[in-house]
Amino acid sequence: MKPLAVSQRVDVVTARGERRDALDQRLVAFLRRAGFQPFPVPNGLANCQFDALSEWLNAITPAGIVLSGGNDIGDCPERDDTERTLCLYAERRRLPVLGICRGMQFLGVLRGGTLVPVEGHVATRHRVSGPYSGEVNSYHNLGFVTLPEEFHMLARADDGLIEAIRHKEMPWEGWMWHPEREPEFRQEDLARIQALLNQQDVRQS
């Protein structure tokens, strides 16, 4: 199985005075079902005095990056720093990246996109159309109504909200839905992530 670096959400446990990294077990199961070996990335390594996160990545040598869901951008600076470093690592090596929900939002914001509050997209299902089409789950209250300049649109909801994006040059995609939260993993999601994360960029050294 190809190794993947997978970012984690930050859960604040007030009673214990702890900030914990967390990853949905279903996402691990989804990635393994697709044929990959996920390695959760510890938050906070990007803020060490030495380049601890790059050292960790060089030890894992991931074939791709997955930016998972959870947390709004700006709420957990250690996670924002971690994902920014992951994207820079992927860009330098032309590695594929999949951003799921918040992960797609992070890719878009990183490239100059602007998030806006949206309604009717929390704990519901709706249809999307475009190169990617069908019914998807929805758990977000922020989104994009215009494309970040460096991306193509892959799917849009009926209300105009952008639901999936693809970078124009790099093998990066973002999906606003959670493939891991389906009762049964969907074959189209498995096929899409396999197509994305198994590809080799011709400019990769």
Amino acid identity at 109 = V
Nearest CA to 89 out of 121, 41, 133, 135 is that of 41
DSSP symbols for 108-170: HHHTT---EE-SS-EEEEEEEESSS-EEEEEE-SEEBSS--TTEEEEEEETTS-EEEEEESSS
Quote the pLDDT of residue 203. Answer: 32
CA dihedral of residues 127, 117, 177, 40 (deg, nearest 10): 180
Q: Please, are residues 173 and 167 in contact by the beta-carbon 8 Å criterion?
A: yes
The yes-or-no verdict on residue 172 having pLDDT over 60 is: yes
Quote the pLDDT of residue 201. Answer: 40
Q: How many CB atoms lie within 10 A of CB 147?
A: 15
Range 84-97 average pLDDT: 96
Range 158-168 average pLDDT: 96
Domain boundaries, the chain: 2-108+164-197
Q: Return the higher-pLDDT residue of 171 and 147.
A: 171
Q: What is the mean pLDDT of the chain?
A: 94
CA 189 – CA 197 distance, rounded (Å): 12
Which residue do the tokens 């990635």 mark?
A: 31
Options 1.10.150.120, 3.50.50.60, 1.10.10.10, 3.40.50.2300; CATH of 2-108+164-197:
3.40.50.2300
Which residues, 6+ apart, have CB-to-CB distance to 55 below 8 Å?
A: none
Range 179-200 average pLDDT: 93
pLDDT tens for 100-123 read 999 999 999 999 999 999 999 999
Tell me if residue 69 falls in helix, strand or coil. Answer: coil
Quote the pLDDT of residue 51. Answer: 83
pLDDT tens for 41-90 read 999 898 776 689 999 999 999 999 999 999 999 999 999 999 999 999 99
Quote the pLDDT of residue 83. Answer: 97
Q: Please, are residues 28 and 63 in contact by the beta-carbon 8 Å criterion?
A: no
Q: How many CB atoms lie within 10 A of CB 77?
A: 13
pLDDT-based confidence at residue 196 (cuts at 50, 70, 90):
very high
Tell me if residue 36 falls in helix, strand or coil. Answer: strand
Give percent above pLDDT 70 in the chain: 96
Cα 19 to chain center, whole Å? 21
The yes-or-no verdict on residue 167 having pLDDT over 90 is: yes
pTM over 0.85: yes
pLDDT tens for 7-25 read 999 999 999 999 999 999 9
Q: Please, are residues 136 and 125 in contact by the beta-carbon 8 Å criterion?
A: yes
